[in-house]
């Protein structure tokens, strides 16, 4: 089973086509003003419209209001919503029902106690993003280039598809996949030449490294 790759934080014209050509399965758009990868709804619409057929377009939002989600979903053709804040399970279920789109819920992991949240959210989300928990002093819920101890999830299984994130690069993705059995991986800063600027050569190198890794599918 080929590893599926999500490149998040696309900001520039041509980014969607570039990541799709490299072999990515998902292209992520960030709607969070504090992020250097934040895009306006108008810019996101233009980016989404240029996405090739087959590339899933994902909107990353943080504790969004219905008003914001209404504006995004009415203007931007999307395939998935990624909730990357502190949304409780009830809110995840609400978003899923209201917008009729698959919902991915990000869960920050730093220690074994955090793993229970994965069990909880798998009941209401279509996919789970297993990410490194942001530092307490940080302002960004993701995209910090930080990894967590992958041994925490080695051998574990969930009932929903899941994606590994947090500090991935072309140099460590093979080890991460071998250790966790991930068949989907997500990154943003690891393929940038500057915050918010995706580097085509880095994207290609990451995809090649992920494809070369032997993943054990989780059922």
Q: Active-site positions?
A: 8, 131
Task: Give, in degrees to the nearest 5, the angle at Cα 102 between 98 and 106.
Answer: 105
| 66 exposure class (CB count in 10 Å sphere: 0-12, 13-18, 19+) | exposed
- As a whole number of angstroms, the distance between CA 132 and CA 148 comes to 5
Secondary structure (DSSP) of 17-67: HHHHHHT-SEEEEEE-TTSTTB--HHHHHHHHHTPPTTPEEEEEESS--HH
């Amino acid at each position: 089973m080929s590893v599926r790759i999500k490149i998040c934080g696309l900001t520039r014209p041509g980014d969607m086509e570039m990541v799709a050509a490299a072999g990515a399965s998902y292209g992520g758009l960030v709607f969070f003003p504090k992020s250097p990868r934040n895009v306006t709804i108008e810019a996101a619409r233009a980016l989404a419209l240029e996405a090739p057929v087959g590339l899933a377009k994902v909107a990353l939002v943080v504790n969004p209001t219905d008003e914001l989600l209404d504006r995004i979903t009415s203007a931007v053709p999307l395939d998935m919503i990624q909730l990357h804040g502190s949304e409780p399970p009830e809110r995840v279920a609400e978003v899923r029902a209201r917008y009729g789109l698959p919902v991915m819920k990000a869960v920050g992991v730093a220690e074994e106690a955090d793993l229970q949240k994965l069990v909880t959210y798998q009941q209401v989300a279509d996919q789970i993003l297993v990410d490194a928990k942001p530092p307490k002093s940080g302002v960004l819920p993701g995209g910090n280039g930080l990894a967590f101890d992958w041994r925490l999830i080695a051998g574990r299984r969930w009932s929903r598809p899941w994606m590994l994130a947090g500090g991935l690069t072309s140099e460590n993705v093979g080890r991460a996949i071998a250790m966790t059995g991930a068949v989907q991986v997500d990154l943003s800063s690891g393929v940038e030449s500057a915050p918010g600027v995706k580097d085509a050569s880095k994207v290609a190198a990451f995809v090649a490294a992920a494809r070369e890794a032997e993943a054990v599918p989780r059922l």
